[in-house]
Amino acid sequence: MELSKPQNIAKTKKFIYAVSIIVPVAVASLFKVEVEGVDLSFLPAVYATINGLTAILLVSAIIAIKNKNIKLHRMLIRMCLVLSILFLGCYIAYHITSDATPYRGSMGAIYYPLLIAHIFLSVLVIPVVLLTYLWAWIGDFTKHKKWTRFAFPIWLFVAVSGVIVYLMISPYYT
Question: Where does the pLDDT of residue 34 fall: very low under 50, low under 70, confident under 90, or very high at 90 and above?
Answer: confident
- pLDDT: which is higher, 114 or 4: 114
pLDDT at 165 over 70: yes
Write down the pLDDT at residue 5: 74
**Which pLDDT tens digit goes with each residue over 52-111?**
999 999 999 999 999 999 999 999 999 999 999 999 999 999 989 988 888 998 999 999
Write down the pLDDT at residue 86: 97
CA 27 from centroid of its chain's CA atoms: 13
Write down the pLDDT at residue 32: 84
CA 146 from centroid of its chain's CA atoms: 20
Write down the pLDDT at residue 131: 97
Write down the pLDDT at residue 94: 92
**Which pLDDT tens digit goes with each residue over 11-33?**
999 999 999 999 999 999 888 88
Distance of alpha carbon 8 from alpha carbon 6, whole angstroms: 5
The answer for residues whose C-beta is within 8 angstroms of residue 154's C-beta and 6 or more apart is 121, 124, 125, 128, 129
**Which pLDDT tens digit goes with each residue over 115-160?**
999 999 999 999 999 999 999 999 999 999 999 999 999 999 999 9
The answer for residues whose C-beta is within 8 angstroms of residue 40's C-beta and 6 or more apart is 93, 94, 97, 98
